[in-house]
Amino acid sequence: NAGVMQNPRHLVRRRGQEARLRCSPMKGHSHVYWYRQLPEEGLKFMVYLQKENIIDESGMPKERFSAEFPKEGPSILRIQQVVRGDSAAYFCASSPRVNTGELFFGEGSRLTVL
């Protein structure tokens, strides 16, 4: 049973480019969370999705960031016109049920903006 798969593991972008981060949840999990982690800081909640629905995006910046979890395929976190401040590790986690707190994390995607 494969775990949460994230790709790419490392991504380098220049300012103004777009970054797309993908997350395939564990088999049987329909709840996906995205978190951002800056060096020496904790995990900051960004967005919670279920299949085809954004349930809570209160942690997402209002501009340039978007997320989706289509009926088929992985969840995608998209960052348009990246800036240096977007450099961080982005973790995806999945859960089999809502509000269980048993989040299973992927290995993360580390974005570096030059």
Partner 1 sequence: QKEVEQNSGPLSVPEGAIASLNCTYSDRGSQSFFWYRQYSGKSPELIMSIYSNGDKEDGRFTAQLNKASQYVSLLIRDSQPSDSATYLCAVNLQTGNQFYFGTGTSLTVIP
Residues at the site binding partner 1, with contacts judged by CB under 8 A: 33, 35, 41-45, 48, 55-56, 58-59, 91, 98-108
Q: Shortest gap between Cβ of 100 and partner 1 (angstroms)?
A: 7
Q: Shortest gap between Cβ of 33 and partner 1 (angstroms)?
A: 7
Which one, 9 or 15, has the nearer CB to partner 1?
9
For residue 105, the surrounding DSSP H or E stretch is strand 104-105
Which one, 76 or 103, has the nearer CB to partner 1?
103
Q: Are 114 and 13 in contact (CB under 8 A)?
A: yes
